[in-house]
């Protein structure tokens, strides 16, 4: 089965309302295991098929997207965030709550979308890169966006090292030097993403 979502994977409005409470509850728990807080203002959410399906279902619900064409547009936008084997995909959030914080942090964090790496058990490192489809819209020279989409591409040896754990997420941006060791349950989730 392909990891990417198709129109058939997206329930219509009435069907989704019937499953929504259970599905959302399950995916919120999945997201808890896949969310990594880095320092005080940045969070990475490692995406998978379920997190992306929830995003599309909720957008379709709120925006009342009823046609196959409208759903396909959302699939085209969000399917790149579902990782293929040997890859990880994450949404990078710069979590700011006030205009003052935005004026302070967004200019300082230009380039943040290239500043994360995963340090693996064998000492190797996998640096993120901006997800190609979204890079042009989100990367600016004078201030960064509050949301970025990034990917991590692993070699087969790095996949094996990641599956052995532990893993550390490092930010080496000069204005935001942080690192955090990933919880075992997060490593388990990411190892599943990387598996062929």
Give a yes or no: residue 58 inside a domain: yes
Give a yes or no: residue 1 inside a domain: no
Which two tokens mark 43? Answer: 């969070």
Give a yes or no: residue 33 inside a domain: yes
- Cα–Cα dist 135/92, whole Å: 12
Give a yes or no: residue 103 inside a domain: yes
Between 131 and 89, name the one with better pLDDT: 89
Domain that holds residue 121: 7-194
Structural domains counted in the chain: 1
pLDDT at 16: 94
Please write the tens of the pLDDT for every residue from 129-186.
998 766 666 566 788 888 999 999 999 999 999 998 899 999 999 999 999 999 999 9
Average pLDDT of span 109-131? 94
Q: Average pLDDT of the chain?
A: 92
Give a yes or no: residue 2 inside a domain: no
């Amino acid at each position: 089965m392909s990891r990417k979502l198709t129109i058939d994977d997206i329930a219509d409005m009435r069907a989704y309302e019937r499953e929504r409470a259970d599905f959302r509850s399950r995916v919120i728990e999945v997201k808890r295991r896949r969310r990594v807080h880095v320092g005080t203002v940045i969070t990475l959410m490692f995406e998978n098929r379920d997190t992306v399906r929830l995003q599309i279902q909720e957008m379709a619900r709120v925006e009342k997207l009823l046609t196959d064409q409208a759903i396909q547009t959302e699939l085209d936008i969000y399917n790149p965030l579902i990782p293929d084997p040997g890859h990880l995909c994450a949404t990078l959030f710069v979590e700011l709550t006030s205009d003052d914080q935005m004026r302070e942090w967004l200019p300082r964090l230009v380039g943040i979308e290239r500043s994360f790496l995963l340090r693996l058990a064998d000492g190797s490192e996998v640096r993120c890169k901006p997800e190609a489809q979204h890079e042009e819209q989100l990367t600016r020279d004078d201030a960064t966006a509050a949301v970025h989409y990034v990917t991590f591409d692993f070699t087969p040896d790095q996949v094996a090292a990641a599956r052995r754990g532990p893993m550390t997420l490092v930010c080496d941006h000069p204005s935001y030097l942080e690192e955090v060791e990933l919880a075992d349950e997060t490593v388990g989730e990411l190892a599943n993403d990387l598996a062929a």
